[in-house]
């Protein structure tokens, strides 16, 4: 094999590293997310819900909106899924239902089992 062919094969086999510059990234906290879309793109709105339990009585202000195509959305879904799997494998299952989290945190609140 020629040296050029060997170099091309080595480049194809080497993992690619994407360089990222996050100097201008803006960070915000969100405890609310709404997903909507159109035939060619997905829209994800993020905001802060001041009343996270129950139905909010005041409007939720959306502070960030991300619009992406479905290919990017699927790659993001896969990355989030893998990240959550790793987190749960390390720290335990994440319970998203608030009432169940409260029962898990305070087992005394569990309903007594029926006597046999």
pLDDT digits (tens, 9 = 90+) for 41-65: 999 999 999 887 788 888 999 999 9
In whole angstroms, give the CA distance from residue 95 to residue 105. 11
pLDDT of residue 101: 74
Q: Which is more confidently placed, 69 or 104?
A: 69
pLDDT of residue 63: 93
Strand positions, DSSP E, 9-83: 32-38, 41-48, 61-68
pLDDT of residue 108: 67
In whole angstroms, give the CA distance from residue 24 to residue 43. 22
Q: Minimal CA–CA distance to 50: which of 33, 32, 77?
A: 32
| Average pLDDT in the chain | 85
In whole angstroms, give the CA distance from residue 24 to residue 84. 26
> CB atoms < 10 A from the CB of 8, how many?
11
pLDDT at position 90 over 60:
yes
CA angle 9, 15, 17 (to 5 degrees): 130
């Amino acid at each position: 094999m020629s040296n050029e062919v060997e170099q091309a094969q080595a480049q194809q086999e080497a993992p690619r590293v994407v360089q990222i510059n996050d100097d201008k990234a803006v960070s915000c906290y969100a405890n609310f997310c709404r997903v909507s879309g159109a035939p060619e793109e997905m829209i994800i709105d993020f905001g802060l819900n001041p009343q996270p339990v129950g139905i909010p009585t005041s409007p939720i202000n959306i502070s960030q909106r991300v619009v992406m195509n479905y290919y990017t959305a699927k790659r993001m879904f896969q990355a989030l899924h893998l990240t959550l799997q790793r987190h749960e494998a390390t720290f335990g299952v994440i319970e998203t239902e608030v009432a169940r989290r409260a029962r898990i945190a305070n087992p005394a609140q569990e309903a007594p089992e029926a006597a046999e």
